Structure 1
Amino acid sequence: MQADFRRPVLAIDTSTSYLSLALQTDGQIVSFHEDVGTKQSDLILPQIRVLFEQAGIAAADLGVIVYAQGPGAFTGLRIGTGVAQGLATPFDTPLIGIPCLDAAAYLLPGQSCVLAATDARMGEVFYAWFDTGAHRRLGDYQVGKAAEIVEPEGRAFTGGIGNAFALTDAPPFAGTPKMPAASDYLKLALSGRYPASDAAHAELLYVRNKVALTAKEQAERKAQA
């Protein structure tokens, strides 16, 4: 399926507690980016409607919808993807999923060994290594203890990015906790390096099957802390 970037493009990121939206049309970008906590499902459609009104367009005018694919907050990702599919289905609008760690990594462009790491909760982080200069991922998307992250063989660390670097148990590398916004997902989609699909085949990127600790595991973790 082919994306039409000559038409308006909407990007949606609900992978964290932020509701982040960006709409590009006629070379201009209007956006919304705010920490809304658990109110994403209440606010996402009204805020998209506001962006459409500001740009003078409707959902039928979109040439593609970009969405945060994960890994990230399980409920948030499902909200964003569901809305993207709902807007796309009536008009056969293509969807482009952008992995969240890619969006973080490319906040540090042109570097040979970037660690993108984000908070996965439960004492773990999502992470992956990237060569953002050569536009390559240097290994799999992973989840695990921050302290156990090691550099890819034959590479020298050049930068770290993502909210995992704000954690008490941060990765053992220097990094900034900055996170991408929907406009950054939009920029990556415009690069043409990520494939489009129809709404029925839009997928989320899950790195971890388990999304919550049991009550016993929570108690054990508190005792260890």
Structure 2
Amino acid sequence: MQADFSRPVLAIDTSTPFLSLALRADGQTLLRHENAGNRQSELILPHIGALLAEAGITAAGLGGIVYAQGPGAFTGLRIGAGVAQGLAAPFNLPLVGVPCLDAVAYQISAPCVLAATDARMGEVFYAWFDTENHRRLSGYQIGKAADIAPPAACAEPQGIGNAFALNEKPPFGGTAQMPTAADYLDLAASGRYPATDAARAGLLYVRNKIALTAKEQAEQKGAL
């Protein structure tokens, strides 16, 4: 199964508090990108409907749907993937999952890129990339920002992602810039990410635990 990028393609990113949607049709990209907070589930379908109406198409006319695969906000990822599956299933549309850290990293081109995003609970999601040569240099990981170390062959690291806006940021130079759904579209169109049907679309998790217990929260506050 392959996405058909000669037809309109929709991208959905709900991996952060932002609701980011992009529709590429006839060489034009329509973008909706706003800080929706906890209103993503309320806003996502009306916003998708407005994008499709603006392009003069229905979901049946899509050549595929791109979605943020994770890691990211647990609830947000499930909202985005669920909507993507719900739109794709009736029309047998291909789904392309793009890992969130890839979308962060490929905003810049360099041989040693650290993509790092806020994972909450005092941790960050991160991975190392050679974006010049389209290679990932590490696994997708989670941990304390201060503990991140570059791969052995990685000289002059460049960092990117909202982890660089945290008080406890990674120990490398970086910018807090984050991607939009249009960046996910660009990566999916490269052909480097496989498409699947709605039933097989999955999410990428690197953390099994999604919340601190009350005791752990109290201990964390006591340590500040």
Tell me if both proteins adopt one fold, taking TM over 0.5 as the criterion. yes
* 1:36 aligned onto 2:33: no
Aligned to 2:196: 197
* 1:108 aligned onto 2:108: yes
- Name the CA distance, whole Å, in 1 between partners of 2:80 and 2:13: 7
- Name the CA distance, whole Å, in 2 between partners of 1:157 and 1:34: 33
Aligned to 1:60: 60
Instruction: Determine if contact 1:151/1:157 at 8 Å carries over to the other structure.
Output: no
Q: 5+ residue gaps in structure 2? A: none
Normalised TM-score (structure 2): 0.99
Instruction: Determine if contact 2:71/2:100 at 8 Å carries over to the other structure.
Output: yes
- Name the CA distance, whole Å, in 1 between partners of 2:202 and 2:217: 30
* 1:165 aligned onto 2:159: no
- Name the CA distance, whole Å, in 2 between partners of 1:129 and 1:91: 37
- Name the CA distance, whole Å, in 1 between partners of 2:157 and 2:217: 35
SS of the counterpart of 1:39?
helix
Q: Give aligned-pair identity as a percent.
A: 70
SS of the counterpart of 2:65?
strand
Aligned to 2:3: 3
Instruction: Determine if contact 2:157/2:172 at 8 Å carries over to the other structure.
Output: no
SS of the counterpart of 1:70?
coil
Q: How many residues align?
A: 224
Which residue identity is paired with 1:74?
F
Per-residue CA distance 1:16-44 (angstroms, 9 max, x = gap): 00000000001111110000100000000
Instruction: Determine if contact 1:15/1:74 at 8 Å carries over to the other structure.
Output: yes
- Name the CA distance, whole Å, in 1 between partners of 2:149 and 2:78: 31
SS of the counterpart of 1:218?
helix
Aligned to 2:116: 117
SS of the counterpart of 2:80?
helix
Aligned to 2:173: 174
Instruction: Determine if contact 2:157/2:173 at 8 Å carries over to the other structure.
Output: no
Normalised TM-score (structure 1): 0.99
SS of the counterpart of 2:126?
strand
Runs of 4+ in structure 1 deviating by more than 2 angstroms, as ranges, are none
Instruction: Determine if contact 2:71/2:206 at 8 Å carries over to the other structure.
Output: yes
- Name the CA distance, whole Å, in 1 between partners of 2:208 and 2:100: 17
- Name the CA distance, whole Å, in 2 between partners of 1:146 and 1:157: 17
Shift of 1:142: 0.3
Aligned to 1:140: 139
Shift of 1:212: 0.4
Which residue identity is paired with 1:66?
V
Per-residue CA distance 1:21-69 (angstroms, 9 max, x = gap): 0000011111100001000000000000000010000000000100000
Shift of 1:3: 1.1
SS of the counterpart of 2:103?
helix
Instruction: Determine if contact 2:95/2:195 at 8 Å carries over to the other structure.
Output: yes
- Name the CA distance, whole Å, in 1 between partners of 2:143 and 2:156: 19
SS of the counterpart of 1:118?
strand
